[in-house]
Amino acid sequence: MELTKFGHASVVLERDGRRLVIDPGVFTDASALDGAEAVLITHEHVDHFVEERIRGVLAEVPGLEVWTNPAVAAVLGDVGGRVHGVGAGDAFLAAGFDVKVFGEWHAVIHPDIPLVRNVGFLVDDAVFHPGDALIAPDVPVEVLLVPAHAPWSKTGELVDWVREVKPVRAVGIHDGLLNEVGLGLVARLLGDGGPGTGAPYGQVGVGERVSVG
Confidence of residue 213 (pLDDT cuts 50, 70, 90): confident
pLDDT tens digits, 82-101: 999 999 999 999 999 999 99
- Domain 2-211 indexed as CATH 3.40.50.620: no
Q: Kindly report the pTM of this predicted structure.
A: 0.97
Q: How many CA atoms lie within 13 A of 192 on its CB side?
A: 0
For the CA atoms of 167, 23, 13, 88, the dihedral, rounded to the nearest 10 degrees, stands at 50
Contact 3, 212 (CB under 8 A): yes
pLDDT tens digits, 156-206: 999 999 999 999 999 999 999 999 999 999 999 999 999 999 999 999 999
**Judging by beta carbons within 10 Å of its beta carbon (0-12, 13-18, 19+), is residue 114 exposed, middle or buried?**
exposed
User: Where do the domains of the chain lie?
Assistant: 2-211
Taking the C-alpha atoms of residue 18 and residue 105, their distance in angstroms, rounded to an integer, is 30
